Each structure stands twice: as C-alpha cells, then as structure tokens.
Amino acid sequence: MQSLALDTYKIHIGPIAESLAQTLNQQPFSQLFVLVDEHTKKHCWPRIAPVVQQHAPKIIEIASGETHKNLRTCEHIWQQLMAHRAGRDALMLNLGGGVIGDMGGFAASTFKRGMHFIQTPTTLLSQVDASIGGKLGIDFLQVKNSIGLFRNPQAVLVDPEFLDTLPDRELRSGYAEVIKHSLIANARQWKTLLNLTDLRSADWSSIIPASLKIKKEIVEADPFEKGLRKALNFGHTIGHAVEGHALETEAPLLHGEAIAIGMIGETYLSYQQLGLSKEALHQIAAYLLQIYGKPLLEPPHYPAYLHLMGNDKKNEGGKINFSLLSEAGAVSVNQTADASQITAALDFYNAL
C-alpha cells in the first residue's frame, strides 16, 4: 500500500479492501451511500460489498456516460438522499470514473450545504486525474464542468486492479491524462512512455503513482487554479470543445480521445508561439496518433469549436486561454491564441 498525503486528505494506492476498511474505520458517519452506474454496479461493487456490508450501505444508481453529467442526474441523487433522510453527517462513496467522482462529489457537497464523500476511482482517467484535487462539477449547455466548486474528499482510494474491468477504449481514454502529466512536468517519464504501445502490458502500479505525484505537487502549489494549476489544462481548451460538440452527435468521443486531439492542436500552438521544436511537435503528434488514431475534425464545425472555446471557464479578459509547451516537460500558462491561430492548429491536426 502506497500513500500520498495532501493538505487535508490522503490518496491510498493499493488493494481496495485494505484501504477502504481502514478509511471507514477512521471516519464517523451516520449513513453510508454508494453511488454507482450500471457498469460499476456489475463489475466493481462486488469487490467492495464485503467490506462495507456491516454499514448497511444504500446504493444510488445513475446512468453511465458524460451525457448524464447534468442537473437532472443530480436531482435524482438528491431525491434518493432525501428519501433515505440523509443528514449532513452521512457519507457518500463515489464508486466509478470521472463522471461519478465529479458529479457525486458535487451532489454531496451541495446537499444540505455539504456532506462528506470518498472518491473510489475505477477508471484510469479518474485514478490519475479526475478524483484528485477537489474539483467537482457537472456540464451545462455543452460546456464541460461549467457548474461546480472546489471541495476535497475525505480520502481517495486507488486500486489499479479495477483497470482489469475496463474496455480497451476506456483504458486508452485515461492514458491521455498520463501523457499530459509527463508532457507538462516530467520529460524523463515522457521518454519512457514513448516505448509503451500495448497498454494492457503497462506496469500501472508504477505509472499511476508517478502521474499522481505530478498532479499532487501542482494542486498543492495552486489549489484554486489561480496560476500554476492551469498547467493541467494542456490539451483541454481545444479538447473540451471537441468533446462537448461531439456529445451532441452520433459519434461522441471519450474524454481522453478528445484531449488527445487537443494536445496535438495545442502542441502545434506551442510550436508556433513558444518555440517548441519541430522534432518535438512531430514526435508528440505521431505518438498520440499511434495510440488514438485520428477522428477527423470537419471544417464546417470549426465555428462551433471556437464558440465553445470562447465559453471556457479558464478564459480571462475575453481571450481564449491555453497552457502550452516550451519543451517536453515544461509548460507555460496563460497563453492566448486568436481564431486564425486556433484554426491553423485544427488544420494541422487534420493534415497529419
């Protein structure tokens, strides 16, 4: 069992039975609620049921997927809490990926002005990114995470064995955040990842802690995203816009798939604006294409992408905000680009 200590909570990495039992024994609560979707109820709940059964847990089930990360689903969660007469001293265990963690934490934090919650991430994406740092929220009007707040969990429990339950596509999606962490803060890890092409053979027990360490250090330095923490948005300005638009089509993209597109586009902006070398540009783009393929971005959709980028919560002064690379392992925040520069980045991606 490994642990990373943040200011007010710990991230435990290891077998879920051990970390969950220990955490519940240290946490007083009146009732235990477990938030699941249809997938985690089937594949993940049986792994923790024996540990929590003594607490008479009440399961709240929601539909899986980013399209359900909205106020309507929150209303369902709040209704279930009300029906069971939950108090502020109840505890919510969020068992699932980034959608469950973001929305479960948001619902818990706003119910009766705040009940405690534990994040139990079951996807690679949530294990290395979404469950860490206290950012909670839901999507609104196609804009990801535009309604939310900062509030830390009581603990985060990461078990790499949950990754065995994931389809290959979900595993690849989460891996995009591992790539992002290395590109913004650890050039040595980036060079190591370049040799990884078969994700099923990856040593997640070493990759996950290394990735978490990067995010931990950034979050501790800037808990409310005033400066350095914006580095974590590399690939996300373009990526979130592409993801939000695709959600309204018959071919939605998973988060990591869209962020991979965003990282290629924003690497091009890095080449144009911060002097990132052409060699690094093509190396990064080639590796991302090798892992994720290349869904095309239709030029008629460019105005929609730009509109969504204009609504990004990171923007300041009416300008679209980016975090860009000067080299692999080094990032600069609060960079801006205009519509013509962003369009050129989208064209670069399509031309690969």
Active site residues: 113, 135, 177, 215, 225, 229, 233, 236, 240, 255
Residue 70 structure tokens? 């909205």
User: Residue 157, SS3?
Assistant: strand
Phi, psi of 118 (to 5 degrees): -120, 135
Phi, psi of 94 (to 5 degrees): -90, 105
Q: Are 132 and 124 in contact (CB under 8 A)?
A: no
Q: Are 312 and 321 in contact (CB under 8 A)?
A: yes
Q: Say which residues have a Cβ less than 8 Å from residue 80's Cβ, sequence separation at least 6.
A: 33, 58, 60
Dihedral sign for Cα atoms in the order 323, 11, 284, 264 = negative
Total H helices, total E strands in the chain = 14, 11
Query: Across the strands, what pairs with 316?
Result: 319
Q: Which residue has the tokens 């680009």?
A: 337
